[in-house]
């Protein structure tokens, strides 16, 4: 299992292209299939992806399959959410955060709506 349903997977092989070189903010959900809080957070992450389609890319990185990527960003607990803007991490949340806190962490970094 490489990503939760409805969220695009990202791997070490396509990380630079999909996360660091992206033209819009990228939310990365670091997760594992055995992680109960990760499963609990999934609907909120999917909802953000749907609500901000076209303004925010959302991807999921399975830490069991991509331990090198997780280590590169010091992901020590799950779930961990990192928001990248212009290739740099600008926001980080760990644990099963409430959807409002997740939205609040990314709101200031999203481009304006048309």
Is residue 112 over pLDDT 60? yes
Catalytic residue among 10, 38, 70, 78: 38
Model pTM score: 0.94
Mean pLDDT of 37-57: 94
Contact 25, 57 (CB under 8 A): yes
The answer to whether residue 24 is domain-embedded is yes
Q: Which residue has the tokens 């033209």?
A: 23
Q: Please list, residue by residue across 76-109, b when 16 or more beta carbons sit within 10 angstroms of its beta carbon and e when fewer do.
A: eebbbbbbbbeeeeebebeeebeeeebbebbeeb
Is residue 47 over pLDDT 80? yes
Is residue 6 over pLDDT 80? no
Specify whether 38 is catalytic: yes
Specify whether 61 is catalytic: no
Q: In sequence order, what DSSP letters do the residues of 3-27 get, joined into one string?
A: S-TTSEE--TTTHIIIIIS-SS-EE
Number of structural domains the chain divides into: 1
Which residue range is the domain that position 45 belongs to? 8-106
Kindly report the average pLDDT of the chain as a whole number. Answer: 93
The answer to whether residue 54 is domain-embedded is yes
Domain harbouring 33, CATH code: 3.40.30.10
């Amino acid at each position: 299992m490489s990503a939760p349903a409805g969220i695009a997977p990202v791997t070490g092989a396509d990380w630079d292209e999909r996360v660091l070189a992206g033209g819009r903010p990228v939310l990365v959900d670091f997760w594992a299939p055995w992680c109960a809080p990760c499963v609990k957070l999934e609907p909120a992450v999917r909802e953000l992806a749907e609500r901000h389609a076209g303004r925010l890319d959302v991807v999921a990185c399975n830490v069991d399959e991509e331990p090198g990527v997780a280590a590169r960003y010091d992901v020590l607990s799950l779930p961990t959410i990192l928001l990248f803007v212009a290739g740099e991490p600008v926001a980080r949340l760990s644990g099963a955060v409430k959807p409002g806190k997740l939205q609040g962490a990314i709101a200031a970094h999203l481009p304006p709506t048309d």
